[in-house]
Amino acid sequence: MLQVLSDVQSGTYPTDRVWERTIRDASAQSQKRFIAALELYLEGTMEQAIDRHENRIRDLQSYLDVRRHMIAMTSLYALLQLGLDIPDEVISHPTIETMVISSSDMIIIDNVSDFSADNTLVIHEKCITGHCILQFGASTWRC
């Protein structure tokens, strides 16, 4: 703890040291993807805070677009890729992008099915009960 306080006072943060150690083994492409994913996460989190402050309920598609970033799965995938030299062409392949979106949507569905704050939107827009939320999710994301 003292080291953290010392670092903060000197202008060096623990995250700086972690990043310095991480980039030694990370490709330039994976670093850029991680930074871009983290920016999307922060933007999504800010949008959610604004929505809550303004008591805004988004339509379903708009909500999903923001929520996909807020759960930080893209950031997590980018973090896991830091030590790998995966070309951008592979990461941006439509199949990979669909898999990332689908996995994020599964987490969103699970959050909604647990009756978190997310269920307000689904109930508001689709006028369904909590019992039907999983059925709604299954029909929406059926392959």
Residue 114 has pLDDT above 70, yes or no: no
Q: What is the mean pLDDT of the chain?
A: 75
Name the class of domain 2-140.
mainly alpha
- Report whether 59 contacts 115 (CB < 8 A): no
Residue 59 has pLDDT above 80, yes or no: no
* Cα–Cα nearest to 21, from 11, 29, 31, 6: 31
pLDDT of residue 17: 74
Residue 2 has pLDDT above 50, yes or no: no
Whether the model pTM is above 0.75:
no
Which residues, 6 or more positions from 59, have their beta carbon under 8 angstroms from its beta carbon? 125
Domain boundaries of the chain, sorted by first residue? 2-140
pLDDT of residue 48: 85
Query: Where does the pLDDT of residue 95 fall: very low under 50, low under 70, confident under 90, or very high at 90 and above?
Result: very high
Mean pLDDT of 21-38: 84
Residue 121 has pLDDT above 60, yes or no: no
Instruction: Give the lowest-confidence range in 5-19, 93-107, 123-137.
Output: 123-137
